[in-house]
Structure 1
Amino acid sequence: MFYTLQDFTAHAKEWGYLLAGLILVSYIPFWIFLNRRATRGKK
């Protein structure tokens, strides 16, 4: 699949950005949920 180390590092960087994006997208709603729970608890 990967022919040279350069190809591998290029793809690894792409996968790294993709993974970071997925984590961020899945983390934001969870963070909003926690904030809403915290503010609701204060009231």
Structure 2
Amino acid sequence: MDSFKAKRDNVIVKVSRKLKSVNSKLTCCFKTFFKHSRTAGKYF
């Protein structure tokens, strides 16, 4: 039972790490997109 809990915790940690990296990438993309759209908004 303990090994099952350890495996589950390990999976949770891996998934949360993956989500964090994906989230930071998305945030970075969104920020650059927002920045570009703001500069484009000045010209239109």
Which structure ranks higher in relative contact order (CA pairs < 8 Å, sequence separation ≥ 6)? Answer: 1
Unaligned regions of 5+ residues in structure 2, if any?
1-5
Identity of aligned residues (%): 3
TM-score between both structures, scaled by the size of structure 1: 0.74
CA RMSD of aligned residues (A): 1.4
Moved over 2 A (4+): none
Bigger helix share: 2
TM-score (norm 2): 0.73
Q: Aligned pairs, how many?
A: 39
Q: Are positions 1:21 and 2:24 aligned together?
A: yes
